[in-house]
Each structure stands twice: as structure tokens, then as C-alpha cells.
């Protein structure tokens, strides 16, 4: 069965969630990959973050808590405009004798968003402004927001929502995303790259997203199924090296919840995405 668009993919995910308890591996059918693009930048409060910004375009900052307030030195040639929960930062361009001069002077921006203060050193560069700088909420607020948003949602649907968010790359700001980029040597004929871990703080769910390719030149095609990936290494709550060093202690902590693939017929040169969901300590202690 093949699904040719993202809307159908999501519909199929929810249908499966209704048909089976997700302690048994779930199934996702799709042949569409997420569009390539630059990921947004998430900034945490009370830490100074250095960020490259466009000195030719308008840069967008987004505050989830409401209208932000940006405090900055006007003499450094910066202008800020506000609209709703957004602040738009523009480095002024000087024109002398018909020649344009673009700013290259780093500028400190202090942004008040809700009850928190965010400090950014904006480094102007000749780059396009394709990323939104999102002022991420603090840990306590993340937990509160996640619990409020998911309190009435059935457990199976929480898992399917988490997979859908990662598949579409539309992950809520209240989730914690960790970029990894480590290769896991679990299978002989398939290379598996752990690209990110998504934690739903306060809910007790964590997702690991892998990308896979055939690495054996003698194999042109493989048929995959979720049960192939019931490997404790892929559910590892810590670095794989720690799993291998302490297999018994780690295995006792692993609580697998779901496995989903976006592709079941993997051909040489193609990439398949694997989503693995585990229960974390928060939910295990309940």
C-alpha cells in the first residue's frame, strides 16, 4: 500500500492508532520525504547565544508567550519592528556615493519574552534570512504546556502525534529536540544514522529518528518491516556506547512503545526513515 501525499500519510497513522495498542509496533506507509530546509533556531533564557543573522534581509524572532520587547543599541545601526508575537530585526544598509555598505558589527540583543530574558549576540552576515529565531520556554513551562496540551489525549494518540510531528518536522516548541548525527552499527547490510531525539518533557515519551541506507553493494533492494528493528540498541536511552558497555543495566530501563517506518521497500541509494518511541522515567514511575 502506498500513500502519495502527506495528508493521506497522517490519516493512515491515526487509523492504525485506533486499530492497535501501540506497545505492539505501529505501521506507517509513505513514499514522500520531508522537504529540505533550514531548521529554526531555538534560544533558551538566561544564556547568551551567538547567532548568525542576515545583514541584507529581515530577521524574525518569535515569542510564544506574547509580544516581545527587544533592548538594543540603536547606534549600531539596527532597527526593530513588532507585530503580534514577532519582532523583526533589520541591520541598516549605508549608501555612500552609490555604494552599499552592509553591517558586519556584532550586536547584543536582549529580548524580554514573558517572564524570561533572552540574550543574543547577532552576527550580521550576507546570508538569506530563512530561519525563525524562536525564544524557547524554560523547562518548567515546557512541562506545564505539554501536560496541559496532552492531558485529555489517549496514550496511543500521544504516540502517533509525536511520530507525526517528527515526520512533518513541525515539532512544538515545548518539546526538547537534540541533534545527534551518530551512526549505529546494528545491522550488517544497513547503515543507520540517529539524526535526532525528541523528548516530550513531563509526559514520559521520547522519540528517536533514524535514517537508513543499504550499505552492501551486492544488495539492490530490501523488504523492511517494523519487527526487524526490535533491537534494544535502537531504544537505547543513552549513547549506544553506554548501552554496549552496560547491556544488562540498560536493558532493564528500556520500555519500547512503538516503531514506525516511512518506507517498507528500500532500494539501493534511497533513504528510509525509522521512528522509535520509548517510555521514559517520568511515565515508568507512574
168, 5 contact by CB (below 8 A): no
1, 29 contact by CB (below 8 A): yes
Q: For the chain, percent helix, then strand, then coil, each to nearest 5?
A: 25, 35, 40
Collapsing DSSP to helix, strand or coil, 235 comes out as helix
Q: pTM score, two decimals?
A: 0.55
Alpha carbon distance 224, 12 (integer Å):
18
Confidence of residue 21 (pLDDT cuts 50, 70, 90): very low
Convert the pLDDT of each residue in 254-271 to its tens digit: 678 899 999 899 999 999
Average pLDDT, the chain: 77
CA neighbor of 73 nearest in space, from 108, 119, 124: 108
Alpha carbon distance 251, 194 (integer Å):
19
Convert the pLDDT of each residue in 92-119 to its tens digit: 999 888 899 999 999 999 999 988 899 9
For the chain, the structural domain boundaries read 6-37+139-284, 45-135
Does residue 64 carry a pLDDT above 50?
yes
Report whether CATH 2.60.40 matches the domain 45-135: yes
Return the ∠ at Cα 135 (arms to 129 and 139), rounded to 5°. 145
Confidence of residue 137 (pLDDT cuts 50, 70, 90): low
Lookup: cell for 128: 538569506
202, 280 contact by CB (below 8 A): no
Convert the pLDDT of each residue in 152-207 to its tens digit: 899 889 999 999 999 998 888 888 888 877 776 788 889 998 888 898 988 888 89
Amino acid at each position: 500500500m502506498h500513500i502519495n501525499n502527506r495528508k493521506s500519510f497522517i490519516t493512515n497513522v491515526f487509523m492504525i492508532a485506533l486499530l492497535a495498542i501501540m506497545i505492539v509496533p505501529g505501521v506507517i506507509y509513505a513514499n514522500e520525504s520531508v522537504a529540505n530546509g533550514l531548521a529554526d533556531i531555538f534560544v533558551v533564557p538566561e544564556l547568551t547565544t551567538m547567532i548568525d543573522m542576515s545583514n541584507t534581509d529581515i530577521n524574525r524572532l518569535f515569542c510564544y508567550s506574547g509580544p516581545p520587547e527587544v533592548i538594543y543599541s540603536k547606534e549600531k545601526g539596527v532597527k526593530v519592528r513588532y507585530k503580534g508575537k514577532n519582532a523583526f530585526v533589520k541591520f541598516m544598509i549605508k549608501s555612500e556615493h552609490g555604494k552599499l555598505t552592509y553591517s558586519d558589527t556584532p550586536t547584543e540583543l536582549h529580548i524580554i519574552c514573558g517572564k524570561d530574558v533572552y540574550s543574543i549576540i547577532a552576527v550580521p552576515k550576507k546570508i538569506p534570512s530563512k530561519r525563525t529565531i524562536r525564544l524557547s520556554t524554560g523547562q518548567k513551562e515546557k512541562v506545564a504546556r505539554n501536560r496541559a496540551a496532552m492531558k485529555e489525549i489517549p496514550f496511543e494518540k500521544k504516540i502517533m502525534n509525536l511520530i507525526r510531528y517528527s515526520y512533518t518536522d513541525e515539532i512544538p516548541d515545548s518539546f526538547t529536540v537534540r541533534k545527534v548525527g551518530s551512526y549505529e552499527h546494528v545491522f550488517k547490510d544497513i547503515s543507520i544514522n540517529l539524526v535526532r531525539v525528541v523528548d516530550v518533557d513531563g509526559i514520559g515519551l521520547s522519540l528517536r529518528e533514524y535514517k537508513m541506507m543499504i550499505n552492501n553493494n551486492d544488495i539492490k533492494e530490501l523488504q523492511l518491516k517494523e519487527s526487524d528493528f526490535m533491537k534494544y540498541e535502537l531504544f537505547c536511552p543513552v549513547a549506544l556506547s553506554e548501552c554496549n558497555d552496560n547491556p544488562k543495566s540498560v536493558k532493564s530501563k528500556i520500555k519500547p512503545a512503538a516503531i514506525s517506518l516511512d518506507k517498507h521497500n528500500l532500494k539501493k541509494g534511497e533513504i528510509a526513515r525509522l521512528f522509535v518511541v520509548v517510555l521514559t522515567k517520568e511515565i515508568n514511575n507512574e
